[in-house]
Structure 1
């Protein structure tokens, strides 16, 4: 068998909604052709969709290193790095330690890596609210709403900020 056959089998598994089997087929293709950037990339996507972010990121970085001229591989790697930073920031914020500044720094980096990361914009708005930097919170939430105008959570948080601003003017 060759790598292309294994890739076809992986996609067949995906069509059958058997993502674990797809991962196995992709892994076999990568083992068979370890210098094939496209196989690393495809496995990375499947890992990411299966919420296996650290494995996805490792493979995405490898694909980008194997073929640095391929723009899609680099973009995918940066997007996953941004997701990882947003997850780290979210964990910091959930701990309740009040490390809002560190969380905000991670989220700004995440957004620089992937400006379309809706979750990072939302979390950055929350972090700025925690820091009482309301104008920056509003800006982050407005950016989130540009990405998803119907996002109720962002609309609610923005309304809270506006209500707070009205109260402070009294």
Structure 2
């Protein structure tokens, strides 16, 4: 089979919900044509959707290296970097009991600010940032972040409840 046939096979696997097979098919396409940026891009999208962020980052970087002028490839790279920042922030928050809470919160805020800078359309990143701001006692910034999440996704139920709860507080910070 040629690269395009493997891509078709990958899409069939995605439709069946078999992301591991899809990833393997994209990798076979890449093996046949390692200079095809779109194969790397498609692999990155599939890996990021299935939680394989390290592999998604490698593939997105390769797509950008092969086609640096392609805005879609750069957006995918930034999206994956944002997801990685969000994962790292979660790790920081899980370490709150083990380390200095204030430093862990500051580190999580930096990572989440990086995530929203990389992927400014991620309502999830803004919502997570709002929660960490609230935990850090930074109510005004929490409200601004949750309002941005609602701006991006006005029907997001968690963001609406969070905004209502924050809006009811006296904003002292």
Q: Would you say same fold, with TM above 0.5? A: yes
The gaps in structure 2 that reach 5 residues or longer are: none
Cα shift readout 1:15-38 (whole Å, capped 9, x = no counterpart): 333222211111111111111111
Cα shift readout 1:117-151 (whole Å, capped 9, x = no counterpart): 11210111111112211111110010011112222
The equivalent residue for 2:46 is 46
CA distance in 2, matches of 1:94, 1:136: 21
The equivalent residue for 1:24 is 24
1:16-165 to 2 correspondences below 5 Å: 16-96=16-96, 97=99, 98=101, 99-165=104-170
CA distance in 1, matches of 2:76, 2:52: 15
CA distance in 2, matches of 1:51, 1:13: 17
CA distance in 1, matches of 2:133, 2:15: 42
**3-state SS in 1 of match to 2:34:** coil
C-alpha RMSD of matched pairs (Å): 1.6
TM-aligned CA distance change 1:7 to 1:101, over 3 Å: same
The gaps in structure 1 that reach 5 residues or longer are: none
CA distance in 2, matches of 1:15, 1:154: 30
CA distance in 2, matches of 1:13, 1:150: 31
Ranges of 4+ aligned residues in structure 1 off by more than 4 Å: none
**3-state SS in 2 of match to 1:165:** coil
Greater mean deviation of Cα atoms: 75-84 or 126-135? 126-135
TM-aligned CA distance change 1:12 to 1:162, over 3 Å: closer
Q: CA deviation at 1:114?
A: 0.6
